[in-house]
A and B are shown apart, each in its own frame.
Chain A
Amino acid sequence: MNDPRTRLAYLDSWRDLFREMAESQVALPSSLIDTLSEATGIPAQNLRAGIGVMCCGWAQLRRSPFMWNITLDASCRVTIVAAGNIPGVAVAPAVMLAAAGCVVQVKLAAADRWLLPWLLEQHQSRSPETPDAIHAAYHPPDSPELHRWLTEADRVLAFGSDETVATLKQQYGQKVIGFGHKFSVALVDASQATDTVLRGLAYDVLLFRQAGCLSAQAVFVVGDDAPRRWLDALSAMFDRVLDEEFGRPPASDKQAMQWSTTRDVLDLSGAEYLMADDRSYFLAVQPQFNEDLLLGNGFVQIIPVTDVTGMLRQLEPRRGQLQGCALAMEEPMASLAAQELGRFGFSHVCPPGELQAPPLDWPNGGALLPEAVFQW
């Protein structure tokens, strides 16, 4: 796949598959969804909706300049160690690196052993003339196969916690490129409490049980001196989306205890909050961004701020861990804010509801993957 035409055709065929999946022309088999649901604990409806949103993003291939500018080394072998917190983490990097001429091996996570192989099968059946350069398999952590994959690779892309990345770097050296802990937020103007924005925020929080780096953990509200209104409005929308679309997963004992503790802390400090009776979400008003409240499972802190700069000031200590920002403002404020967010390090700024839908060549963590791989 060394000439641009072949690479483009390869990407186009993937884009077509994702587009058809996003438009429900190609449906994920129920058995696959059920298996994923069992392995991840995320309800089937939530998974189906989430993968659909992801496909919408992957179908927006922007054909960025890297495809034409870099000198390819077709023999480059890349191993991707996928995380299993949400499904499909390895899909976009695998496709992009394969398109760039790499041989890609994906070590699947135990909780997500099915989606990528199914996608590869679909792609192969649609484009049999393009041999797929992606090989996906699950190997147990201590298996010789995994060790061989990691040893033989020219580059290793590791998705996981900072500790995991550090461990892999220690074992396999600087060829490991890590994607550690990151999280996302939302920034909305007080005037934007519309159904569309609220529904989008519900998606950004509740898809995949808030387990991805593109899940919003905090909503910053600009210019509202009564954040309680957002608490009520979001709560009503969360209930609607959970009841009508995503389903309500039972809270584990661990989660129940964690939220009881959080509720105690909020009660002791007199904070306003709303916790769903079934613990499917927990919304709390905070005067400042609270690093202790990055809890996942539907927990959102609502923070009033005066402007974008006010939000960024609060997020400064976590600057290296920021990923996406859902943005709802009137123009031209929205464009100005988007620029500022990009300069601050957010890799994906989008309207509410599209956090989980970055394009295929999204610069995860701020770097275009093939460039990061080749410039190493």
Chain B
Amino acid sequence: MTARQTDRERLQTRIFDFIQAADVQADALPASAETQFEELALALFQYQFEANPAYQNLCRRRGVTPENIARCQDIPAVATASFKHVDLFCGDPAEAVAVFHTSGTTQSRPGRHFFRTLELYRAAAMRWFRACCLPDVERLPVLILGPSIEHFPNSSLGQMFSWIRETFGRSDSLIAFTPDGMAYDRAIPWLLERIARREPVLILGTSLALWNWCENEALRRETLTLPEGSRIIDTGGYKGKKQALSREAFLHMLSETFRLAPEWIFNEYGMTELSSQMYESRFTAGRFGEGVKVAPPWLRIMSCDPQTLTVLPEGQRGVLRFFDLANLDSVAMLQTEDVGAVRGRTVRLEGRLISAEPRGCSLLAEEILQS
């Protein structure tokens, strides 16, 4: 094992321990954990600076090296869109055990996030899921209405859904979504059976899949009343749908379809380029407030001025930047185009700044049809 590999192993262990030991119920990190986080962040930066030549290029051009940096906030960020253009991996991508792809259009190639191991990713994802979505019950029957790693090997969401099924699901859980589409003919009897037995269920799905379910006339004729203690977790937004829908209207629609109180419908916010996720649930609302996504203690959120990319004071609306301790083998500090206001570990999302498309003697279809 090389010295770098040894350093990496040690760092992974330290971060793993931090994730396992973090007080996920606390509103803020205690001073000692805060210090530990800062130390780990700087150690992680040093590792990524040395092991990732592309990232080192960027850092040197910004005048930042491990020798002249004092705090996490000053670690150079990399735009999430960069994952489409550069393999941001500490080492040879051929050594990766997994690579997850961002969703891409036909015009653009997907971004790729490589992982040397999945331990940190899994630990981070499962610990925070438990805290935000399932603190009150050990296991539930899980119905997956979205990707799973079994059917979509490059989907990070699929990986997470599959881990949730393995970790928190009962043996009779069901994956209803495959590359052939949604198997409603299996999902409906599965649900009706559990409803008849009054067994609460956990439904994991993309927002679009759930929306499609709600709009399906045949499904709407089924009388579904999910048993008490059931919960739905949706993620991914409504990209791909022509009409707009507010979160409130979406919750109302889901609540009507599944006869489930809206407070039992939780929302996940994550992205392929991050290993950690944020949630908005009834279990986070009590401590952190309504309408905000809450980050785990190992994920730091900042909002930045879109013009200068300087970090803004708490509460000011800006483009979101994340430092994820669990992103060990890629880049931990990521700049997104998502817009929101940050307070502590919470963010109130307000949409997204979409970069312009290539231009020429044309307007986008939307523009001309609206012009």
> Is B362 in the interface zone, CB < 8 Å from A?
yes
Interface presence of B70 (CB below 8 A): no
Contact A160 B82, CB 8 Å, known A141-B371, A257-B353:
no
Q: Is A267 part of the binding interface, using a Cβ–Cβ cutoff of 8 Å?
A: yes
Q: Is B335 an interface residue (CB 8 A)?
A: yes
- In contact, A260 and B335 (Cβ under 8 angstroms): yes
Which residues of chain B are near A292, meaning CB under 8 Å?
A: 85, 108
Q: Measured between alpha carbons, how far is A161 from B356 in the docked complex, in Å?
A: 14
Q: List 30 A-B residue pairs with CB atoms under 8 Å apart, sorted by A's residue number.
A: A84-B367, A109-B363, A109-B368, A141-B370, A160-B363, A160-B365, A161-B362, A180-B361, A181-B358, A181-B360, A183-B359, A212-B361, A213-B361, A217-B360, A255-B356, A257-B306, A257-B353, A260-B79, A261-B79, A261-B81, A264-B79, A265-B86, A267-B57, A268-B82, A268-B86, A269-B54, A269-B85, A292-B108, A295-B359, A297-B356
- Asked if A120 lies at the interface with its beta carbon under 8 angstroms from chain B, I say no
The answer to whether A261 and B362 touch (CB under 8 A), given A84-B371, A270-B57, is no
With the chains together, A167 CA to B367 CA distance in Å? 13
Q: Which residues of A contact B54 (CB under 8 A)?
A: 268-269
Q: Does B183 contact A (CB under 8 A)?
A: no
B241 within 8 A of A: no
Whether A167 contacts B307 in the complex (CB less than 8 A), given A253-B353, A260-B79, A292-B85, comes out as no
- CB within 8 Å for A269 and B371 given contacts A85-B363, A162-B362, A213-B361: no
Q: Residue A164 at the B interface, CB < 8 A? A: yes
Is A80 part of the binding interface, using a Cβ–Cβ cutoff of 8 Å? no
Please tell me the size bucket of the interface on B. Answer: 35 or more
The docked-state distance in angstroms from the alpha carbon of A258 to that of B354 is 8
- The reply to whether B365 and A256 contact each other, CB–CB distance below 8 Å, is no
Chain A residue at smallest Cβ distance from B60:
A267
Q: How far is the CA of A163 from the CA of B108 in the complex (A)?
A: 16
What residues on A are CB-neighbors of B86 within 8 Å?
Answer: 265, 268-269
Q: Point out the residues of chain B lying under 8 angstroms from A258, CB to CB.
A: 355-356
- Interchain CA distance A296-B363 in the complex, whole Å: 12
Return chain B residues, CB-CB under 8 Å to A265.
Answer: 79, 81-82, 85-86
Distance of A99 Cα from B147 Cα, bound (Å)? 59
Contact A159 B361 (CB under 8 A): yes
B358 — which chain A residues lie within 8 A by C-beta? 181, 183, 294-296
Q: Is A37 an interface residue (CB 8 A)?
A: no
B245 within 8 A of A: no
Contacts of A179 in B (CB 8 A): 361
> Assuming A267-B61, A292-B85, is B362 touching A160 (CB within 8 A)?
yes
CB distance from B76 to the nearest CB of A (A): 9
A323, B361: Cβ atoms closer than 8 Å: yes
- Does any Cβ of B come within 8 Å of A187's Cβ? no
Q: Which of B354, B358, B361, B367 has the most CB of A within 10 A?
A: B361
> Which residues of chain A from 168 to 222 have any CB-CB distance to chain B below 8 Å in the complex?
179-183, 210-215, 217
| Of listed A141, A164, A212, residue having the most chain B CB within 10 A | A164
Q: How many A-B residue pairs have CB under 8 A?
A: 142
CB pair A210–B359 under 8 Å, yes or no, is yes
A162→B319 CA distance, assembly (Å): 31
Chain A interface, DSSP helix/strand/loop, else mixed: mixed
A160 to B359, CA, bound (A): 11
Cross-interface CB contact of B369 among A167, A181, A261, cutoff 8 Å: A167
B354 to chain A, nearest CB (A): 7
Does B337 touch A at the CB level, under 8 Å?
Answer: yes
Check: A111 CB closer than 8 A to any chain B CB.
yes
Neighbour of A294 across the interface among B62, B79, B306, B360, CB < 8 A: B360
Considering the chains assembled together, what is the distance between the CA atoms of A257 and B369 in angstroms? Answer: 26
Say yes or no: is B342 at the interface (Cβ < 8 Å to chain A).
Answer: no
Closest residue of chain B to A250 (Cβ to Cβ) is B307
| B78 within 8 A of partner (CB) | yes
B55 cross-chain contacts in A, Cβ below 8 A: 268
Q: Closest residue of chain B to A214, judged by CB?
A: B361
Inside 8 A of B309's CB, which chain A residues have their CB?
A: 260
The 9 A-B residue pairs with the shortest CB-CB distance, nearest first, are A213-B361, A296-B359, A163-B365, A261-B79, A110-B371, A258-B355, A267-B58, A294-B358, A253-B306
Interface residue? B364 (CB, 8 A): yes
Instruction: State A100–B58 Cα separation when bound (angstroms).
Output: 58
Instruction: Kindly state whether residue B140 has any CB partner on chain A within 8 Å.
Output: no
**Are A257 and B363 touching (Cβ within 8 A)?**
no
CB distance A161 to B353 under 8 Å? Answer: no
Contact partners of A141 in chain B: CB under 8 A:
369-371
The reply on A137 being an interface residue by CB < 8 A is no
* A333 vs chain B, min Cβ distance (A): 28
Query: In this assembly, does B124 line the interface, its C-beta being within 8 Å of a C-beta of chain A?
Result: no
The CA of A342 and the CA of B195, in the complex, are separated in Å by 71
Q: Is B332 located at the chain interface by the 8 A CB criterion?
A: no
Tell me if B204 counts as interface (CB < 8 A to partner A): no
**Nearest chain A residue, comparing its CB with the CB of B52:** A268
**Chain A residues near B364 (CB, 8 Å)?**
161, 163
Say yes or no: B58 contacts A264, CB within 8 Å.
yes
For window 336-362 of B, CB contacts with A under 8 Å fall at: 337, 353-356, 358-362
Interface string of B69-98 (1 = CB under 8 A from A): 000000000110110011010000000000
Alpha-carbon distance A214/B359, docked complex (angstroms): 11
Closest Cβ of chain B: how far from A358's Cβ, in Å? 12
Q: Which residues of B sit under 8 angstroms from A255, Cβ to Cβ?
A: 356
A256 and B307 within 8 A (CB):
yes
CB contact list, B287-311 vs A, under 8 A: 306-307, 309
> Is A321 on the interface with B (CB-CB < 8 A)?
yes
Q: Which residue of B lies closest to A85 (CB)?
A: B363
Q: A148 interface residue, CB < 8 Å from B?
A: no
